[in-house]
Amino acid sequence: MTRKMWGLIPVLDCSQLLRLCPSQCKPYVCPITTPDPRVDSSQRTMSDQAFVTLATNDSYAKGAMVLGQSLRNHNTTRKLVVLIGPHVAEPCRDALRSVFDEVRVVDVMDSGDTAHLALMKRPDLGVTFTKLHCWTLTHYSKCVFMDADTLVLSNIDELFEREELSAAPDPGWPDCFNSGVFVFRPSNETHEKLLTFCGEHGSFDGGDQGVLNSFFNTWATADISKHLPFVYNLSSIAIYSYLPAFKQYGHDAKVVHFLGKVKPWNYSYDAQQGEVRGHSQSPDQSQLHPDYLLMWWQLYAKSVLPLLQKSYGEAPFSSGFVEASGDGKLHEDVSEHPAPSHPPPQKVSSEERKQRWEAGQIDYLGDDSFANIERKLDSFLK
Ligand SMILES: [Mn+2]
């Protein structure tokens, strides 16, 4: 019976439907300019949801600016919030303000009793406490946290349909989620619980990812809708460790995460050549996958550097650019870069590299890049 009734509806055209409507629904009573209450509520929903990132120093602030700009470029309808540490320089904050809707200074030292107590027990987890602060953004109903070392490749507003705590698997241990991208609901209660948990249990990996995985410990098994597809948090280690999968699914990548010690802003950029300096990528390798590092620098050069130049004015700052001089030799752009605080990664001994590898500090884009590993393997096979 019900099925028959529904079957009727598609054969009615609009005028027939209007005739079926009660009088108060007729067009002259309800002009299409009348605000639709549903539109209002969805707009409200959008302004009470936000993407949140964290910059504890001026270098991470650059990453945050690139991330924020990449979200803007893909027309996000949500607010953009950056939490900053007290040491971020004023011109950097100024540049951040032109990308983000809200720039909020987080000083763990004055963030309440629970935080103090937890921090006294675990002084090593200072940065982690700063990140957990995102739960106090209670003027938003739902947020997506993104590390400052991520880059957005397409609109990802659909993430707000997910619930706390949604995240993608970590490539190193897929029963853990990677805390570089996660959906959460701000709540002072959850924040307090997290701080208490942190003080009592610490972090098994020394960072926020360990704490969050121990706290949200049913993520792996309880609810598959909280598993974000891997394309929302794609890291280069996954490309190298399972290349056929990357070839199959990589074109859907939505968020790139620059995992590892060496971050995009630690390299330098030759704007004339349009090349990133200080990383070894063989030509055949760049044909295999898009050069996300280059994309990061292109966005930085186009949209972020002008903001920094405006904010710093005459004051020197580290632009990350190199310029080719007349003799063809590369040198640092000294006018803007008098004391580079983040030189390109220096060579380390093979023993030290082994130790770093075993400690999980893998230089995926540099010494431990796929090309270098392949070369080593080839030398054994010859
Ligand atoms: Mn990260």
Q: Rounded to the nearest whole angstrom, what is the distance from the C-alpha of residue 261 to the centroid of ligand 1? A: 9
Q: Rounded to the nearest whole angstrom, what is the distance from the C-alpha of residue 105 to the centroid of ligand 1? A: 20
Tell me the C-alpha to C-alpha distance, in Å, between residue 91 and each of 37, 82, 176, 265, 305. Answer: 42, 15, 38, 17, 12
| Number of C-beta neighbours around residue 89 at 10 A | 16
Q: Rounded to the nearest whole angstrom, what is the distance from the C-alpha of residue 263 to the centroid of ligand 1? A: 9
Using a pLDDT cut of 70, give the percent of the chain over it. 69
Reported as a pLDDT band with limits 50, 70 and 90, residue 370 is: low
What pLDDT, in 10s, does the model give residues 102-138? 999 998 766 677 777 777 777 777 788 889 999 999 9
What pLDDT, in 10s, does the model give residues 333-366? 434 333 444 444 445 555 555 555 554 455 555 5
Q: Rounded to the nearest whole angstrom, what is the distance from the C-alpha of residue 152 to the centroid of ligand 1? A: 13
The helix (H) or strand (E) run that includes residue 367 is: none
What pLDDT, in 10s, does the model give residues 16-66? 434 444 444 433 443 444 444 444 555 555 899 999 999 999 999 999 999
Q: Rounded to the nearest whole angstrom, what is the distance from the C-alpha of residue 156 to the centroid of ligand 1? A: 18
Reported as a pLDDT band with limits 50, 70 and 90, residue 260 is: confident
Report the alpha-carbon distance of residue 311 to residue 187 in Å, rounded.
34
Q: Rounded to the nearest whole angstrom, what is the distance from the C-alpha of residue 149 to the centroid of ligand 1? A: 5
Q: Rounded to the nearest whole angstrom, what is the distance from the C-alpha of residue 148 to the centroid of ligand 1? A: 7
Contacts of 247 (CB under 8 A, 6+ apart): 288
Reported as a pLDDT band with limits 50, 70 and 90, residue 241 is: confident
Q: Rounded to the nearest whole angstrom, what is the distance from the C-alpha of residue 132 to the centroid of ligand 1? A: 15
Please compute the mean of the pLDDT values over residues 231-239 and round it to a whole number. 90
Please compute the mean of the pLDDT values over residues 306-313 and round it to a whole number. 94
Q: Rounded to the nearest whole angstrom, what is the distance from the C-alpha of residue 258 to the centroid of ligand 1? A: 6
SS3 state of residue 225: helix
Q: Rounded to the nearest whole angstrom, what is the distance from the C-alpha of residue 60 to the centroid of ligand 1? A: 10
Q: Rounded to the nearest whole angstrom, what is the distance from the C-alpha of residue 34 to the centroid of ligand 1? A: 46
Is residue 81 a contact partner of residue 73, using CB atoms and an 8 Å limit? no
The helix (H) or strand (E) run that includes residue 255 is: strand 255-257
Q: Rounded to the nearest whole angstrom, what is the distance from the C-alpha of residue 257 to the centroid of ligand 1? A: 6
pLDDT for 280? 63
Q: Rounded to the nearest whole angstrom, what is the distance from the C-alpha of residue 366 to the centroid of ligand 1? A: 17
Q: Which domains does the chain have, with CATH numbers?
A: 48-252 (3.90.550.10), 352-381 (no CATH)
Higher pLDDT, 335 or 368: 368
pLDDT for 361? 52
Reported as a pLDDT band with limits 50, 70 and 90, residue 72 is: very high
Q: Rounded to the nearest whole angstrom, what is the distance from the C-alpha of residue 312 to the centroid of ligand 1? A: 27
Report the alpha-carbon distance of residue 189 to residue 283 in Å, rounded.
51
Which of 94-103, 250-259, 341-350 has the least mean pLDDT? 341-350
Please compute the mean of the pLDDT values over residues 283-296 and round it to a whole number. 71
Q: Rounded to the nearest whole angstrom, what is the distance from the C-alpha of residue 151 to the centroid of ligand 1? A: 10
What pLDDT, in 10s, does the model give residues 172-182? 999 999 999 99
Is residue 202 a contact partner of residue 122, using CB atoms and an 8 Å limit? yes
Higher pLDDT, 35 or 324: 324
Q: Rounded to the nearest whole angstrom, what is the distance from the C-alpha of residue 224 to the centroid of ligand 1? A: 23
Higher pLDDT, 81 or 272: 81
